[in-house]
Amino acid sequence: MTRPDLQRDAQGRLKHFLTIDGLGGEILTEILDRAEGFAGVARQAVKKVPLCRGKIIANLFFENSTRTRTTFELAAKRLSADVLNLNISTSSTAKGETLLDTLRNLEAMHVDMFVVRHGDSGAAHFFAEHAAPHVSVVNAGDGRHSHPTQGMLDMFTIRRHKGDFGALTVAIVGDILHSRVARSQILALTALGAGEVRVIGPRTLIPTRVEELGVRVFHSLREGVRDADVVIMLRLQRERMDGALLPSEREYFQLYGLTERLLETAKPDAIVLHPGPINRGVEMDSQVADGPRSVILEQVSNGIAVRMAVMSLCLGTQSQRAQGDEDG
């Protein structure tokens, strides 16, 4: 659990973005509103705004994720920041240097923000707790704990299609137990006042007492997606197939794979999300992934705007609109 004061500065503004837990709907809505202002930057002739000019943002990815790292890098560059990508596999951390040593050495280079992805839960929190006062930390995914920017880009995608969260029934399908994405989605949906949040999966992949997060549990995909406005399919880690948690991929798809026929039980205008990359024929078939109700590629584009919003807020910069008003 993140200390309640760790993510905010003395004035209550966002300083670090480590988890959605405890932030509340107001600040999440502020992120979504600011992202809306950045969404059009990609259509400009010059795809940049000067909000973070002179800032140095370091991407520290201790585990691979091409999509997440690339969108964070693009977001930082569109804010006009200087970007440092640290190749962890060849850095001194692989030779025994501690996380704290890495932090101190990078701080000596006058880095303003660390974007941290790590296989261990709590790594981003460790950086935030030990960072210099002027440094901000954004969690790009830590262990099974949290992936807050993925959760927020999903919320941004949903809001652009559906508007008010209060009227929505959202179904999250798959490996809820091991998914940091699912946890962030549930916390965000709850904070934003979603009408009903459902989690769907085999009993072996549903956390005990998950109902305490305010969700309804289903073990039947057909029942879980019935009349849903939004269906979020989670990526299934193939290593789960090697243990006793799941049957074969073929059996999993038969029970929990999303097909066009199953999607017909959802609302006629239901949308389908997936954090990617998709295991086609395991989590969903290609007809759904490439179909008219899929917004999966939109999620990728929206991730850049949301990460721009988070980074600019944490670094204390003005919104794009406010900056433009002053320049005029």
276 is in an annotated binding site: yes
Beta-bridge partners for 82:
56
Is residue 147 annotated as a catalytic residue, yes or no? yes
Q: Out of 2, 19, 68, 149, which one is annotated catalytic?
A: 68
Check whether 68 is labelled as a binding-site residue: yes
216 annotated to a ligand binding site: no
Contact 226, 266 (CB under 8 A): yes
- 170-182 burial code (b ≥16 CB/10 A, e <16): bbbbbbbbbbbbb
98 is in an annotated binding site: no
- How does 268-287 read in b/e, with b if 16+ C-beta sit within 10 Å? eebbbbbbbebbeebbbbee
The span from the CA of 224 to the CA of 198, in Å, is 7
Distance in angstroms (rounded) separating the CA atoms of residues 217 and 173: 10
- 99: nearest Cα among 17, 107, 178: 107
Residue of 15, 16, 145, 147 with catalytic role: 147
277 assigned binding-site residue: yes
| Helix boundaries (H) for the chain | 25-38, 66-78, 99-107, 123-130, 148-162, 180-191, 221-225, 249-256, 260-263, 286-289, 296-314, 320-327
235 annotated as a binding-site residue: yes
Respond yes or no: is residue 13 known to be catalytic: no
Q: Considering 16, 34, 55, 117, which one is annotated as catalytic? A: 117
Q: Does 150 count as an annotated binding residue? A: yes
Q: Is 147 annotated as a binding residue?
A: yes
CB atoms within 10 A of CB 88: 18
One of 43, 66, 90, 95 is an active-site residue; which one?
95
Contacts of residue 32, defined as CB under 8 A and 6 or more positions apart, other chains included, come to: 152, 155, 156, 159, 306, 309
Q: Do the annotations mark residue 183 as ligand-binding?
A: no
The per-residue DSSP string of 73-89 comes to HHHHHHTT-EEEEEEGG
261: exposed, middle or buried (Cβ count in 10 Å: 0-12, 13-18, 19+): exposed
Residue 96 assigned as binding residue: no
The catalytic position among 48, 67, 77, 280 is 67
State how far the Cα of 72 lies from the Cα of 69, in Å rounded to an integer.
5
Q: Would you name the residues annotated as active-site residues?
A: 67-68, 95, 117, 147
Q: Which residues carry a binding-site annotation for L-aspartate?
A: 95, 180, 235
Residue ranges for the binding site for carbamoyl phosphate? 67-68, 117, 147, 150, 276-277
Binding-site residues from annotation = 67-68, 95, 117, 147, 150, 180, 235, 276-277
